[in-house]
Amino acid sequence: MRKFRIIFSLLLISCSFTGYAQTVLADSLRQSVYAAKTQEDRLNALINMFEEYHSINRDTLDTYGPVVKELAAASNNQRLKSLAALAYANWYYRWGWSDSSIVFIEPEIVRNSADDPATRDIYFKLTRARALYLGSKSRFAEALDVLYGILPKAEQYNDTLTIGLTCNTMGSIAIARQQPNEALKWINRAILVAGSKNRHLQVLAPAYINAGYAYASLSKMDSASYFIEKGLPLCRQIQNLNYVATALRIQTNIYTAAKQYQLAEKALLEMISTRAKLTSANLIVEDNLQLADFYANSGQIDKAIDICRSNLKKGDIVTANNGSNEVVSNDPKLRVTFLEKLAGYYKQAGRLDEYQLLLEELVGAKDSLYAANSAEAIVELQTKYEVQRKENTILQQKYDLQRKNFLFYGSIVLIALLLISGTALFRSYRKKQKARVEKLMEEERRQAEEAIKKAEEKERVRIASDLHDNLGAYAASMASNLSYIHFPDAGEITNNALKELTNNSNAIISQLNDTIWVLKKEELSLTAISDRIKNFIRGLRKSYPAVNIEVEENIAVDHKLPSSQAFHLYRMMQEAVNNALKHSSGENILIKITGANNWEVTIADDGKGFNINEVKSNAGNGLSNIMERSDEAGWTVSWERAIPRGMIVKIISTTN
C-alpha cells in the first residue's frame, strides 16, 4: 500500500504541470485526487475528475487512465466499477476510439437498471454516453435508437436532467444531419425542461450553443448571435472548455458573415487557445473548417485550400514518428463538408480543372453518407418513439382502470344486494374501454403508416432533386463541353471516340430526365405515360425517317400507376420500340394504349418477325430486361406473330 501511494504521488506531481492552467474546477478535482487517503476514495475522486473530461488536457487523461483501470480492478464496489468503466471509455473517446469506448460500457449497461433507484443515474449516464459515441462515428440512426429508448424512461421517473441532456443531444444529431428546424424542436424542449431559473446549467449552456448553431445554419444571424451571447457566459461558468471553444467557433462564423473580421479573428484566436488546453493535436476537424472559412472570407484563399487538403487524410488519430500529432478525417459527413468547402475554394480561386475533378469525388462521398444514414430509417425511429409513448399512456390508463375495478369489487363484497347490477355495469364498462383502446391502437397504426409514407415521399423527392442538381448538372456540363472539342487533324478513331462520348453523355441526360420524371410523382396516369412515349418517339424520328411510328390511345379509364410501375412500363415500351427499329426491318410501328377495367399496351411492327421460343433461351439484354421488369411489376408480357407479317408485343396488367 505504501509503495502504491508513493508511485501515485509521483504521478500526481508530474500531472500537476500537464494539467496546469485549464480550469479552476479541473485543478480542484486534481487536488481531491491528491488528498484521497484510501484507494476507494482515490478511485471516486478520479471518476469525478474524468466526468469533466471535456475540460481536461488529453495528456492528463493519458496519465490517470491506467490508474483508474487498476483501482477499478481491485475494487469490490460495483457502482464504482461501472462509473470507472465510463471514465476510461471517455478517455478512449477523447482519442477518437469510439468503438473501443462502446465495448467498455456495454457490459455495464446490462449490470445497471433504470428501474432500480440505486443504479438509475448510472444507467442514464452510460446509455447517453453510448449514443454520443455512436453519433461521433456518424452512426446517427443507431444513436437516435438509443436516445429514443432513454426518453420514455426518463419521463417515467421525471428525471428532468436526463430529459434535458437527451433532448439536447438529439438536437445536436439533427444539426449534424443538416436539419436545423428539427434540431430547434429538441433544443427548445431542452431549454424548457431546464427552467427559466437556470435550474440545470449543464443543460442550458450547450442548449443555447446548439440553438445558436442551428440559427446560424438557417442564416438567421441575429438569433444565432443572441443565443451564443447567452450561452457563452454559462459555458464559462460551468467551466466546460469544449463548450467554450464550440461557442467561440460559432461566434467566429457569425462575425465573419457580418464581415467583422477583427472580432472574428479575436474569437478565433481565443478558440484556438482554448483548444490548446485540451489536446496537443493541431486542431479538431471542425475548428479547421472554421479556420479555413475565415481565411477564405478574408481574402487568403490559398491558406483555406491548404487547410482543407491537409484534413482530407484518412486513418487513425495517432502519434507520428516525429512525436507530433496528426488530425485525420474518416467521418463521411465531415469528408463531404471538407469536399464541399474545398470545391467552393477551388471555384473561388479560378482553379476549374481541380474543381471539376473534386466534384466527382464529392458525388461518391455523398452517396456513402446517404447510404449510412437513411432518412427513412430515422423517421421510422421517430414513429416508433411516438407509438411507444402513446402505448405507455394506454398502459397507465389500464392501470388506473384496474385500480378502479378493484375498488368496485370491494364495494360489491360489502354490498351484496348490488352484486348483480354492479357486475353488469363493470362488464359493460370494460367492453367500452376495450373498444376504445382498440380504436386508439388502430389510429396509432394508421398514423405510423402515414408517417412512413410521408418519409418515403420526402426521400423520393430528395433523391430526384439530388439527381437533378448534381448528376444532371455534371452530365449537362460534360455534354456542353464535348461540343467545343475539335481536332482538325484527328483520325477516324479519335473522331469516332468523340462522337461516342457525345452520344453517351446525351444518353445519360435522357436517362436521368426519365428517372427524375418518374421520381417527382407519387403516381402517373396512362395518359401521362402515353405523352412521355410520344416525346420519346419524336426524338427517334430523326434517326429513323423511313419508319412510320404512331401512337393510338383508347383510354376510357385513365388508370394511375405507382411511380415504380410507371417507370417499368415506360422502359418496356421503349425497349420494344427500339427492338422493332433495330431488328424487324419493318416500315411501320403502331403503339396501342388501352384503358378499361384493366389496361393493356401493344407494340406491333410489320417486319420479318421471329419465333420467341427459339430466341428465349438466348435472349439479349432487350428481351431479358422486358421479361424482368414484367415479373417485378406482376404483369403478363407476350410476343405473337402478326398477320400477314411482323410481331406484336403485349403487356397486360394482372391487377388494377
Do 474 and 537 fall within a single domain? no
Q: So what's the pLDDT on residue 524?
A: 83
The residues near 374 (Cβ < 8 Å, ≥ 6 apart) are 141, 459
Q: 3-class SS at 626?
A: helix
Could you tell me if residue 553 is inside a domain? yes
- Pick the last residue of a domain from 422, 454, 482: 482
Is the separation of the CB atoms in 577 and 626 below 8 Å? no
The CATH number covering residue 533 comes to: 3.30.565.10
Could you tell me if residue 12 is inside a domain? no
Class of residue 656 by CB neighbours under 10 A (exposed 0-12, middle 13-18, buried 19+): exposed
Grid coordinates of 314 = 484518412
Could you tell me if residue 589 is inside a domain? yes
Instruction: Count CB-CB contacts under 10 A for residue 73.
Output: 9
- Pick the last residue of a domain from 461, 482, 503: 482
Q: Could you tell me how many residues make up the chain?
A: 656
Do 530 and 635 fall within a single domain? yes
Rounded Cα gap, residues 186 and 37, in angstroms: 44
Kindly report the pTM of this predicted structure. Answer: 0.47
Could you tell me if residue 236 is inside a domain? no
Do 531 and 644 fall within a single domain? yes
Closest to 247 (Cα-Cα) out of 263, 219, 224: 224
Q: How many separate domains does the chain show?
A: 2
Instruction: Count CB-CB contacts under 10 A for residue 9.
Output: 11
Q: 3-class SS at 588?
A: strand
Do 463 and 543 fall within a single domain? no
Scanning the structure block, which residue is given the C-alpha cell 448538372? 473
SS (H, E, C) 23-75: CHHHHHHHHHHHHCCCHHHHHHHHHHHHCCHHHCCHHHHHHHHHHHHHHHHHC
Do 463 and 558 fall within a single domain? no
- Pick the last residue of a domain from 428, 452, 482: 482
Is the separation of the CB atoms in 212 and 177 below 8 Å? no
Integer CA distances (angstroms), 610 to 364, 548, 606, 649, in order: 44, 21, 12, 12
Reported for 275-280, long-range contacts at CB under 8 A and 24+ positions apart, including other chains, are 275/245, 277/21, 277/22, 277/57, 277/241, 278/22, 278/54, 278/55, 278/56, 278/57, 278/58, 278/241, 278/242, 278/245, 279/57, 279/58, 279/94, 279/325, 280/57, 280/58, 280/59, 280/325
Transcribe 81-111 into DSSP letters. Answer: HHHHHHHHHHHHHHTT-HHHHHHHHHHHHHH
Could you tell me if residue 648 is inside a domain? yes
Q: Which domain holds residue 396?
A: 375-482
Q: So what's the pLDDT on residue 506?
A: 61
∠ CA 406-412-418, nearest 5°, is 145
* Count of helix runs (H) and strand runs (E) in the chain: 26, 7
Do 396 and 446 fall within a single domain? yes
Could you tell me if residue 179 is inside a domain? no
Do 533 and 628 fall within a single domain? yes
Is the separation of the CB atoms in 653 and 598 below 8 Å? yes
Could you tell me if residue 400 is inside a domain? yes
Do 388 and 478 fall within a single domain? yes
Pairing status of strand 636-641 against strand 588-595: unpaired
Do 645 and 541 fall within a single domain? yes
Is the separation of the CB atoms in 271 and 252 below 8 Å? yes
Q: 3-class SS at 518?
A: helix
Do 549 and 476 fall within a single domain? no
Could you tell me if residue 302 is inside a domain? no
Q: So what's the pLDDT on residue 322?
A: 41
Mean pLDDT, consecutive 10-residue stretches, the chain (656 aa), reads: 38 36 74 84 84 77 84 88 86 82 88 90 89 85 88 89 90 89 91 74 88 91 90 87 87 86 83 74 59 78 83 57 50 78 85 81 74 56 56 62 70 74 78 80 73 57 52 55 65 68 63 62 84 86 88 91 85 89 89 92 90 71 83 90 90 76
Q: So what's the pLDDT on residue 3?
A: 39
Do 534 and 421 fall within a single domain? no
Is the separation of the CB atoms in 247 and 227 below 8 Å? no
Do 572 and 647 fall within a single domain? yes
Instruction: Count CB-CB contacts under 10 A for residue 423.
Output: 13
